[in-house]
Every structure is written in structure tokens, then in C-alpha cells.
């Protein structure tokens, strides 16, 4: 029932809209392309017959696929986000479609230095003969999370075309600015009205993400004293040197993302700006155990105090902002959310894998707010990178899984 050609057309259409999220913007969403893509999705939902489809002034798109069963059935929701990561530009995406992938490395036509190497992407070895989609190597592709958008839209189209599929009410929710931690800031959970939700924002195929990092953001402001360098002796306090000293005090052998894996947490400085008078740093705090975030924050404050002692007259302010929490505890309150996803894959003859994410999704915050929301595979690979790619067959498999999932919920 799923139409792979139509699914591919949707995906290629969506990735060519620049929806790069922008940190530090006063507007929501943070970039106009997110509103533009939301309007496109709104129009397509209405064309499919979802008469209640709306887009809020914040860009959130919601709609309902009506139930096809007479009995009262639980309301569930599917979610994806329209924005793409600010780490690599999403402007001017020129997708490359590799049909009947023969195996081996995939060169990207826009950048001779950009090659998706099979050795670095072992999943490719299982996808010979499949359709692989990449960027041209000068931008990201945007499969995170436009693969999710396309999968959900193809699922909606299939359900609206095949009314013989029995299911309960299905709510659709497309969010903005997930990549900068604000995906559900303006989602009205009462209006959504679901008992469980699923984010379509996952790696590869057959994975059900049941845990995410817990996450805080540290903003560190280093203040020095600026004066003309010709008369700086005994007077200047260079905030850049203080910031460098502070960063050097953070554990690099045990708590950096470059050296951690699995369930290990980290501190990740990822942005620095400023000059002699003042430097601003942004640092990610991540761990699967939420209580350990306080320990990471204390490490930052300890390093700040030591640097202040080494540079008398300098000051370092550490501000911690909560971002999201591990979804595991919240999912336990509605075990059907994970169990029915597992059953859907089994009915399709697939082998479900319960996995963890060294990151977060809108589902992390939705679960924290009381709406259990595991994350499902959507064919994403190498997100946030010019080497990002996706597989059409994996996206189609995700759509088939969603159809089976709503069937199972409709049996309740």
C-alpha cells in the first residue's frame, strides 16, 4: 500500500526548503523557511482530506486522521520536526538519488573531498540494490527530520486512501526549532489530545528508542578588562586567555564526546564568541542519569573558580538552563507505547531493537510533560553533516510500520 515513488517525491520536495534553525533569534520559529514548509504540509494535509488541519501562529501544524472503527479507541499521535540543524547549512540542498546502489563509496558531486565511505558506514553493506539519497556534499541533506515528515505524510495518504484499514483517531503534529531545544515550547498537549505519541526521528530501521540523554545547557560568560595594548601592563585581563584556561581545565580524557560512547555522559563546549573584554561560551551537559547533570555543572563551577584565581580581576559566570530529560521513566507510565511499536515490527516479520539515543528528540520533552513518546527509526544516517544520507526502502519500511501500529492501537 505504501507508494515508494510518492514517498521519494515528498522527501525531495521537503529537503529543498531551507528550514535551518537559528540560535539566538527573537522570533519563533527561528527561521522563515520553517513557516514556509509548514504551509506546504498544511496544504497537503488538507488535500488528503484532513479538514481540521491548522497551522498556529508559532508554526505548529496539527491535523486528525479520523477513526475508521465505530468503537471508542485511544487517540495516538505522530510527530516530526520541520527544522534542520544549524551545524551545517540547509540552504540550497541539491539531493542526489543513487538508484540500485551497487555498493562501495558514494562520491558527492558538489564537493570532491566529500565521500560517503562504506568503511565508515557499515549499514550501506546491507543496502545494496536500494535507493540511497544524499546531498551534493556542500550542505546537509535534511533527512533529520524531513525523512520523518515524508514518512508520516505517506502514512496519512495511505490511511486516507484505504479506509478498510481499521484504526482509531490519529493526530499529526509537526513542530519547529527542535534542533535548538524548543520543539515543543508551543505545543498544546490538551489540543493534541493523545494518550501516546511517536517521534519519527530515528536511525536506520527497526529501532525503538526508549532512552535519551538528560540534557542541560551551560552559558559561561568570562569577563576581563580591555585597554590599549600599548599601556596594558598590569592593567589588561584578556578574557580570551581566561576562557582558554577555563576550557583547558575541563576533563578531555573522560568527559568529552570525542572519547565517550554508550551510556557515558560528557561536557561539550561547542560555541565561543567575544574578545578581550568578554567571552561567551556555550557548553552541552549530557548524561543518561539526570542526577549526574548537577555533578557536571559543579565541574564547570570548579574550573571557573580555579581560572579566576589564576587571573585575579577576571570573573566567570556559569548559568545552567535545563533542556530535556531521559524519556525512560515517563515511558514506563504507559507501557503500551513501546510494546505496541514492538508488536508492529514483529507482525511485519521484523526484529525490533530497543535502543538508546546519545541525544534527544521532541519525544524527550513530550514524555517529560506527560505524553509518553518513544522514537522510531526513519532511515536517518550521519545527521547534521554534509555526509548525511538516507535510504528510501528504510523510509518505506517506517511507513509500513506506522500503518501496522495504528491498526494495533485500533484494536484496543
The C-alpha atoms of residue 324 and residue 367 are separated, in whole angstroms, by: 10
The C-alpha atoms of residue 369 and residue 357 are separated, in whole angstroms, by: 19
Digit-by-digit pLDDT tens for the chain (412 residues) are 899 999 999 999 999 999 999 988 999 999 999 999 999 999 999 999 999 999 999 999 999 999 999 999 999 999 999 999 999 999 999 999 999 999 999 999 999 999 999 999 999 999 999 999 999 999 999 999 999 999 999 999 999 999 999 999 999 999 999 999 899 999 999 999 999 999 999 999 999 999 999 999 999 999 999 999 999 999 999 999 999 999 999 999 999 999 999 999 999 999 999 999 999 999 999 999 999 999 999 999 999 999 999 999 999 999 999 988 999 989 998 999 999 999 999 999 999 999 999 988 899 999 999 999 999 999 999 999 999 999 999 999 999 999 999 999 999 8
pLDDT for 361: 83
Candidate list 18, 44, 83, 154, residue with the active-site label: 83
Candidate list 144, 178, 201, 206, residue with the active-site label: 178
Indicate the DSSP class of residue 238: -
**Cell match 492501537: residue?**
409
Active site (annotated) includes residue 289: no
Active site (annotated) includes residue 100: no
pLDDT for 329: 82
- Dihedral, CA of residue 114, residue 119, residue 125 and residue 127, to nearest 10: -20
Q: Which helix (H) or strand (E) holds 410?
A: helix 392-410
* Farthest-apart Cα atoms in the chain, separation: 83
3-state secondary structure 293-349: HHHHHHHHHHHHHHHHHHCCCCEEEEEEEEEECCCHHHHCCCCHHHHHHHHHHHHCC
pLDDT for 412: 80
Ordered domains of the chain (ranges, CATH): 4-212+326-410 (3.40.630.10), 214-324 (3.30.70.360)
The C-alpha atoms of residue 284 and residue 269 are separated, in whole angstroms, by: 6
pLDDT for 394: 98
pLDDT for 181: 86
pLDDT for 391: 98
Contact between 73 and 171 under an 8 Å Cβ cutoff? The reply is no
Q: Where are the beta strands (DSSP E) in 112-213?
A: 115-116, 132-134, 170-175, 196-203, 207-212
| SS3 label, residue 375 | strand
Amino acid at each position: 500500500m505504501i507508494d515508494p515513488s510518492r514517498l521519494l517525491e515528498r522527501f525531495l520536495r521537503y529537503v529543498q526548503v531551507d528550514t535551518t534553525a537559528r540560535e539566538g533569534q527573537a522570533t519563533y520559529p527561528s527561521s522563515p523557511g520553517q513557516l514556509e514548509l509548514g504551509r506546504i504540509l498544511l496544504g497537503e494535509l488538507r488535500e488528503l482530506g484532513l479538514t481540521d488541519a491548522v497551522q498556529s501562529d508559532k508554526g505548529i501544524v496539527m491535523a486528525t486522521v479520523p477513526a475508521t472503527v465505530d468503537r471508542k479507541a485511544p487517540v495516538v499521535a505522530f510527530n516530526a520536526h520541520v527544522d534542520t540543524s544549524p551545524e551545517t547549512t540547509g540552504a540550497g540542498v541539491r539531493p542526489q538519488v543513487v538508484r540500485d546502489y551497487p555498493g562501495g563509496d558514494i562520491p558527492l558531486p558538489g564537493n570532491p573531498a566529500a565521500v560517503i565511505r562504506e568503511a565508515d558506514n557499515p549499514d550501506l553493506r546491507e543496502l545494496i540494490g536500494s535507493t540511497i539519497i544524499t546531498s551534493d556534499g556542500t550542505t546537509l541533506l535534511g533527512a533529520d527530520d524531513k525523512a520523518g515528515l515524508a514518512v508520516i505524510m505517506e502514512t496519512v495518504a495511505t490511511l486516507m486512501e484505504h479506509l478498510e484499514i481499521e484504526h482509531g483517531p490519529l493526530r499529526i503534529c509537526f513542530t519547529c526549532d527542535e534542533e535548538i531545544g524548543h520543539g515543543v515550547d508551543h505545543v498544546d498537549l490538551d489540543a493534541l489530545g493523545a494518550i501516546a505519541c511517536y517521534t519519527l526521528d530515528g536511525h536506520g530501521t527497526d529501532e525503538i528508542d526508549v532512552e535519551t540523554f538528560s540534557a542541560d545547557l551551560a552559558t559561561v560568560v568570562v569577563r576581563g578588562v580591555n585597554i590599549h595594548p600599548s599601556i596594558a601592563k598590569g592593567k589588561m585581563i584578556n578574557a580570551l586567555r581566561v576562557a582558554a584556561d577555563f576550557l583547558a581545565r575541563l576533563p578531555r580524557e573522560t568527559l568529552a564526546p570525542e572519547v565517550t560512547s554508550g551510556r557515558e555522559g560528557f561536557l561539550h563546549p561547542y560555541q565561543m564568541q567575544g574578545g578581550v573584554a568578554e567571552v561567551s561560551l556555550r557548553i552541552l551537559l549530557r548524561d543518561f542519569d539526570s542526577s549526574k547533570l548537577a555533578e557536571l555543572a559543579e565541574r564547570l563551577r570548579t574550573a571557573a573558580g580555579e581560572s579566576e584565581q589564576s587571573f585575579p580581576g577576571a570573573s566567570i559566570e556559569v548559568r545552567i538552563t535545563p533542556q530535556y530529560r531521559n524519556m525512560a521513566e515517563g515511558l514506563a507510565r504507559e507501557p503500551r507505547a513501546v510494546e505496541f511499536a514492538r508488536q508492529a515490527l514483529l507482525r511485519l516479520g521484523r526484529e525490533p531493537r530497543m535502543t538508546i539515543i546519545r541525544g534527544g528528540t521532541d519525544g524527550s520533552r513530550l514524555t517529560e510533560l506527560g505524553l509518553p513518546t518513544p522514537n522510531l527509526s526513519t532511515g536517518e544516517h550521519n545527521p547534521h553533516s554534509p555526509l548525511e544520507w538516507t535510504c528510501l526502502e528504510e523510509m518505506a519500511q517506517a511507513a509500513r510500520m506506522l500503518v501496522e501500529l495504528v491498526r494495533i492501537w485500533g484494536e484496543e
